[in-house]
Structure 1
């Protein structure tokens, strides 16, 4: 460590460039990780809030929520700790005062006395027909407020926002919770008369499902999330990008350390001739690599957290300290592995040939 620190102090500019390259790569990796995590969370936030175990869909729906149609009376045939019905559809809304400002949203039709009901952070829960509870992002990003009248672009039905909840996004769109009666108006319009109890898309359960109708297929919540359109492809894409960047970081810092080592072969030869062991020199190179990688990663980490504070709320960026810490440690470890090529070169140095 003594030799490693002294070398860094002696050649500040040279090693500052190595740290700078490591910082830029680490910053890019952390930033992409934050975007990947944020996008993934916006696909699944509303589902995670359920704290559910399983979801039951029609066996003909191919694991797709929107294609599943279930008779809500079947919920009585499902045996589990807690059960709740869910109707879901995507739609487009706009303010009554501004027809041009349209927003893509996802409607959740639920029973207000079941565990899928949203937590209220502003306003109140829906009680009457035509009332909805919206995700807070509609207020923060689109200036919606409690009491606003909204219309559906599909059938011109009018609804009223009576409250806001948090962390309620599904497939990137903000969620609007409402009653099943209102949901049927959203889906079909008030002009269509419904002669019987309307169908729902799913039955959500907590606890082990002990019994269910044969016409329903059970999916764990984890598997259901992975089946969401585009979710798995998005996670895999970002995962490969981050993985390749980590490998690139290791190659870059490994090349830098190797070049610096080759430039000091004569010095290392003199050190060996004086009786300093190859192990001592190799440990110094490893320590030097650790210091450079750790410093670059730490600066990149701090820069990422600083960037998160100034990003607009519309950017789906979320910091996960545990996730970032794991990536940072991985980058340092891989960088040290890259430096082992330099260690191999040090061990092979012949003092007499190196001195010349």
Structure 2
């Protein structure tokens, strides 16, 4: 490892350039990953906060949440067989405050359950983000589809759906607003939730894809993240390949004096490890700091689990890239390399 370290000090400009590029790529990857997680929370926090269980939609809905209508007879039978089951519905809408300012919302109603806010007729419980718009407990809100008024009874934290704040209302008020009696979905908590022949069943993760735009949004951002990871591996492969071409003579001499090929590979791996580790430490520190200085309202959520997972992936990809570039070292013939005069 002494040879590897001496070479890094001798050619520090080259290794500094590579380290800077890896730092920028990994930093950008962490930022985009944080945005992807943040948008995921902003899009489906209402669903992601529920415990593990099974969601059930009408088979005629073709796995699309908005089109689902659970037959009342089927719903009642499920409740008899599964007392812990909950039926709920979500529809996008809006309310007007006392100043006639319009606020977009996701109206949610459910049967009696500890999993959702239970409110009385004429009451509404809102996501706390609406406090920033000046809405307070006791305010009166109106909706053009509702004949009465909503009185704000409280706020809840991190309850979003389709990038809109959630508003919990009574079932009778919801039915009046949307002219529908059937609920959209049934949720049964627990890992051993039954399979119902009359309905399509979804796990928590599968149900997220029934939310409009969720899959397309997350797929696009995750594709960017993994594309950046692949780029980092290619950078290692190209960089070490060019370095190895310039050091064919040196490798020939080292082989001639008895150094094994595996030792040369270890030298390349050591250099890769040092560069990647330093770059990742800096990018992790800055990405965590970014969460404190990110513009207000930006949905940024970067967990340490995601950081460690991506760091491990960067290490593996870097190892693969450096190893691929080192295959040419294996084929170097000492005498031929020395005769080329490359040092």
Class of the TM-score when normalised by the shorter of the 2 chains? 0.7 to 0.9
The 1-side partners of 2:295 and 2:37 are apart by: 16
**Equivalent in the alignment of 2:321:** 338
Q: Which of 85, 88, 91 is equivalent to 1:89?
A: 91
Displacement of 1:236 in angstroms is 2.3
Q: Is 2:120 the partner of 1:117?
A: no
The CA RMSD over aligned residues, in Å, is 2.5
Contact kept in structure 1, 2:95 and 2:105, CA below 8 Å: yes
The 2-side partners of 1:176 and 1:69 are apart by: 21
Displacement of 1:201 in angstroms is 2.2
Contact kept in structure 1, 2:240 and 2:326, CA below 8 Å: no
The 1-side partners of 2:162 and 2:23 are apart by: 33
Displacement of 1:320 in angstroms is 2.0
Displacement of 1:202 in angstroms is 2.5
- Structure-2 change in CA distance of 1:215 and 1:340 (3 Å): closer
Q: Which of 100, 119, 123 is equivalent to 1:126?
A: 119
What are the ranges of 5 or more consecutive residues in structure 2 without an aligned counterpart? none
The 1-side partners of 2:38 and 2:52 are apart by: 21
**Equivalent in the alignment of 2:140:** 149
**Equivalent in the alignment of 1:10:** 10
The 2-side partners of 1:349 and 1:154 are apart by: 79
Q: Is 2:318 the partner of 1:325?
A: no
Displacement of 1:86 in angstroms is 1.3
The 2-side partners of 1:153 and 1:296 are apart by: 55
Kindly report which structure 2 residues correspond to 1:142-181, keeping only aligned pairs within 5 A, or say none.
142-152=133-143, 158-181=149-172
Displacement of 1:238 in angstroms is 2.2
The 2-side partners of 1:16 and 1:300 are apart by: 15
Contact kept in structure 2, 1:92 and 1:154, CA below 8 Å: no
**Equivalent in the alignment of 1:58:** 58
Tell me, what secondary structure is at the counterpart of 1:161?
Answer: strand
Residues 113-152 of structure 1, C-alpha deviation per residue, up to 9 Å, x if partnerless? 423323xxxxxx634x221111122224x34322233232
Q: Which of 121, 128, 151 is equivalent to 1:136?
A: 128
Displacement of 1:261 in angstroms is 2.1
Q: Which of 201, 216, 235 is equivalent to 2:218?
A: 235
The 2-side partners of 1:345 and 1:209 are apart by: 56
The 1-side partners of 2:90 and 2:213 are apart by: 18
- Normalising to structure 2: TM-score of the pair? 0.87
**Equivalent in the alignment of 1:272:** 255
Kindly report which structure 2 residues correspond to 1:242-257, keeping only aligned pairs within 5 A, or say none.
242-257=225-240
The 2-side partners of 1:269 and 1:73 are apart by: 81
- Structure-2 change in CA distance of 1:260 and 1:60 (3 Å): same
- Normalising to structure 1: TM-score of the pair? 0.85
What are the ranges of 5 or more consecutive residues in structure 1 without an aligned counterpart? 119-124, 189-193
Displacement of 1:32 in angstroms is 1.2
- Structure-2 change in CA distance of 1:148 and 1:284 (3 Å): same
Displacement of 1:251 in angstroms is 0.6
- Structure-2 change in CA distance of 1:156 and 1:301 (3 Å): farther
